[in-house]
Structure 1
């Protein structure tokens, strides 16, 4: 409700959930698609808990720090129009994105570009969640013009989804809201490389992302 009021008073409102908090891929097991005005909406799992194991049961079942669409509830309840941008933090530890783009996925493994292409399409088509205490069935979607990709920084971000070649890995940036990464204070510092002798080889994520999106706004976020 605070986001709704802020939007109504002219503020820019954003939302930055970890991927498991807003996941269009955690399909409800055994469920059928729900018809909404002739369009089938897949149903995804929902929970208020933030102490769940990853959706893929063989993927770090000991890691009890994920959720199931708790942020999707806000968009389903109040509409995506409430938020100017929604950043999906693909760098969440043991994220679904990491699973899908590594050998852990087996025959289902995808390249980063394939995965992000499909993920964007699924968010745009939408899905539904069922809220257990109220019985509400909420339809959720993120249009491309509000979707922001959230990345981790550099190869030393061990155990997290990592993109090293944005030009080859990202879908066509046209139509997307943009991208963010954690965090700008270490951009271009050489933190990601063991060889500090050649600054020209340091990773500059803001610069590389700007080449793809054509515009970029750099902001410092204080935790």
Structure 2
């Protein structure tokens, strides 16, 4: 039986083991995520959870260095952004050969990563710049900028700048692989809060456009009180209403839409 354990890899927030070694050198060790293929061979559900700049549809730049300023012209003294390093792992380790049940033990190629969860709550992110500086609505940014780039199959990453991989277009199925992550509240001054109302509006615009909708939504995190309300499941209820996940669940309250 397939394990329901989700193996999540993040280059931020860890102070022990392999991640401490990576942080000490200021670069990502590219073979590190080969471990994800090993997990997949043992029936784990495996995801990538990159901050937006580490998996950035809006640029072709690539580097293993992890202390860049933001890609947009703001807060250039904040040097904690990446340049598509997670895209390398999708390109390099995107499929894994796994043995099939039976006497012949035939193997088949399966996607290594079950989904890619992009953190819009990265500090001084692309989405934050669009909303706070360019004064775009989240719906306009999400549909006409962010998803438009990847849906047109036009995201080429220049891996040769800092690796042995050739430059190539990254193919990512929005409907099957992309999960978009939001902060459950305004975590700090570096994070642009995107509310359930804004997300619902963007989803409606996306559905009306005829473009593919992402596989899902997530938020960080359940321990935080969302949206300054007394309802600890407010964001979860909102996402359920947006995605039509459970028909009989508590409705997203009218004053939140």
TM-score (normalizing by structure 1): 0.74
- Match among 135, 148, 154 for residue 185 of structure 2: 154
In the alignment, does 2:146 pair up with 1:115? no
Show the counterpart of 2:77. 62
Show structure 1 runs of 4+ deviating over 6 A: none
Show the counterpart of 1:41. none
Unaligned runs of 5+ in 1: 27-43, 217-223
Distance 1:192 1:136, change over 3 A: same
DSSP-derived class of the 2:217 partner: strand
In the alignment, does 2:155 pair up with 1:127? yes
- Match among 220, 224, 237 for residue 182 of structure 1: 220
For the residues of structure 1 that align with 2:146 and 2:137, how far apart are their CA atoms?
12
Measured after TM superposition, the shift of residue 4 of structure 1 is: 2.0
Distance 1:163 1:133, change over 3 A: closer
Measured after TM superposition, the shift of residue 155 of structure 1 is: 3.9
* Contact residue 116 and residue 178 of structure 2 kept, 8 A: yes
* Contact residue 186 and residue 192 of structure 2 kept, 8 A: no
Structure with the largest fraction of helix:
2
TM-score (normalizing by structure 2): 0.65
* Rg larger in structure: 2
Deviation track 1:113-152 (CA, whole Å, cap 9, x = no partner) reads 1211131232231422223342622331321121001101
Show the counterpart of 2:63. 47
Count of residue pairs the alignment pairs up: 186
Higher relative contact order (CA 8 A, sep 6+): 1
Show the counterpart of 1:86. 116
Show the counterpart of 1:40. none
Unaligned runs of 5+ in 2: 1-33, 96-110, 247-257
- Match among 224, 229, 238 for residue 208 of structure 1: 238
For the residues of structure 1 that align with 2:168 and 2:38, how far apart are their CA atoms?
21
DSSP-derived class of the 1:162 partner: coil
Measured after TM superposition, the shift of residue 111 of structure 1 is: 1.5
